Amino acid sequence: MLHMMLAAAGSAATVGMLPSALAAQAGTASEGAIVKGGTLFANVAPEPTGLVAGINISSPAVVISASIFDGLVSYDNNYQPQPQLAQSWEQSKDSKTITFHLRKGVLWHDGTPFTSADVQYSILNVVKKTHPRGASNLAKVIAVETPDEHTVVFRLSGRAPVLWAVLFGTETQIVPKHLYEGTNPLTNPWNAKPIGTGAFVFKEWVRGSHVTLERNPHYWDKDKPYLDRIIFKMIPDAGARAVALESGEIQFAANNPVPESDVARLQKNPRLLLDTVGWEAPAPMFFFDFNFRRPLFKDIRVRKAFAHAINRKALAEIVWYGLASVAESCVPSFQKQFFKPNLPQYEFNPKRAEQLLDEAGLKRGADGVRLRIDHITEVSYGQVYLRAAEAMRQQLKNVGIEMTLVNLDLATMIRKLYTDRDFDTASMWYSAYPDPQIGVTRRFWSKNIKDGTPSSNASNYSNPAMDRIIEGIQEEGDIARRKILIDQMQELVQTDVASINLLEIKFFGFYSKKLHGLRKGPMLFYSSLADAWLEK
């Protein structure tokens, strides 16, 4: 019997408690008969450093990669797993064995047959070893067996509530074993010219210009995709992206593609739809990190001073134009089954910040400055992050902290944070995802300090108590006991000021009213465009 099992405490349970779309325009234009053919012009920003999302997990890479790679499963609008590369599966009563039955006749884009060996290799040698969330997500997967070319058996050490929420194509990505085995997956040249199993085939990547995907004529879902091609245009300037949307030059743009100040105006455009539905599963959060390798930040009084000096409400209301809210935890507040209310908070209180800095021995000098630091900010994703950093720079200046902004392109930022570890502080966003084990724990687990792996533990935060809690979250199968551990993690992040949780961001996207067939649901903008079609 086919079991589509999702534990009540697992990620899928989140969806019933997701927020309604902010300013979303419900639905699309009335959909008539599907039109086949045509080219969709889309946008991603910034330009990714690679196109294999399971290795380079930046948001632009995910948006593109979703149409190139299929996963073992996809998810419906309620985040329930649906057959994709696996056409059926069974899970044992003790939850320790999951058997996947793979589709027959699926081909990699180079014509090589897709088999269970690809799944086994990808899980054990790529996802668990190189993905910043893989070691945590798949912590209970102790073996992957391949009794035949179309059967894969996962052996688990126990119940794994998170597993069913991470088997989609851009998270637990299945890559071709014949092109990756014997190489370093992080530097494999196929990351820039991916070979997948999905609805669209990689055609070209003209750096600084565009990525072109073309219809896969051998796709296992024979009637799809409907589009002939997708061209992802690289338009680095947000104002230029707004003009491109208005003119029809691009018809699909995800990930806050235009300045927040332009949203109200573009929302009135009769040819466009604004949608915030589609980001609930990624659950973007904005945070401020310290580099714990710097002796300065080992003093909790200094970290608390920073937290008191930053006016998060002003960031949400002024910098983000209300398209954000103050974060009270590292877990989004709308994830009611995981979020812990009434955590210790560091209210905006410059006087308390100055007092703490004095206590830490950081007195104001003759020039009024207590300390000078550099701050890396994520400007590649939009000017709003630069404006936020500028606002925080002024707020910190008011308490005697001189912060120099270091604005870097995405590739350089990733190197500085995750390879060189050469920074004082940084602000950026991350995807919390529907279960803290997927998106949150990676930031605070010392075993996730992985040089060269983007979106791992950048701050170098290491606390044995936190490690025990996180490993408990990974191992605990009981719903109630796991929730207690997740509460403890949130409490420790706050009391130890492991990071400053700044904002819950309300991401949005724009697309043409002539574009139909988008996969509505909590992962709209991270889904394949196999079903998409353009009205003539």
pLDDT of residue 520 exceeding 80: no
For the segment 396-455, what is each residue's pLDDT rounded down to a tens digit?
999 999 999 999 888 899 899 999 999 999 999 998 988 999 999 999 999 999 888 888
Return d(Cα 266, Cα 246) in angstroms, integer: 8
| pLDDT at 457 (0 to 100) | 93
pLDDT tens across 80-133, in order? 899 999 999 999 999 999 999 999 999 999 999 999 999 999 999 999 999 888
What confidence score (pLDDT) does residue 19 get? 36
Q: Each residue of 209-220: pLDDT tens digit? A: 999 999 999 999
Mean per-residue pLDDT for 49-53? 94
pLDDT at 14: 32
- Distance of alpha carbon 274 from alpha carbon 292, whole angstroms: 40
Average pLDDT over all residues of the chain? 91
Residue 65 binned pLDDT confidence (cut-offs 50, 70, 90): very high
pLDDT value, residue 31: 55
CATH numbers and ranges of domains, the chain: 35-68+198-280+507-536 (3.40.190.10), 70-191 (3.90.76.10), 284-505 (3.10.105.10)
CA distances (Å), 323 to each of 221, 236, 508, in order? 38, 21, 9
- Please give the pLDDT value at position 378: 78
Judge whether residue 263 has pLDDT over 90.
yes
Residue 498 predicted with pLDDT over 50? yes
- Chain mean position to CA 113: 30
How much is the pLDDT for 477?
Answer: 84
> Could you give the CA distance from residue 218 to residue 337 in angstroms, rounded to a whole number?
42
pLDDT surpasses 60 at 240: yes
Per-residue pLDDT at 277 exceeds 80: no
List all residues 6 or more positions away from 182 whose beta carbon is below 8 Å from its beta carbon. Answer: none
pLDDT band at 380 (very low <50, low <70, confident <90, very high): confident
pTM of the model: 0.82
Closest CA to 522 of 283, 251, 256: 283
| pLDDT tens-place string over residues 299-343 | 999 999 999 999 999 999 999 999 999 999 999 999 999 999 999
In the prediction, which pLDDT does 525 show? 78
DSSP, collapsed to helix, strand or coil, labels residue 384 as helix
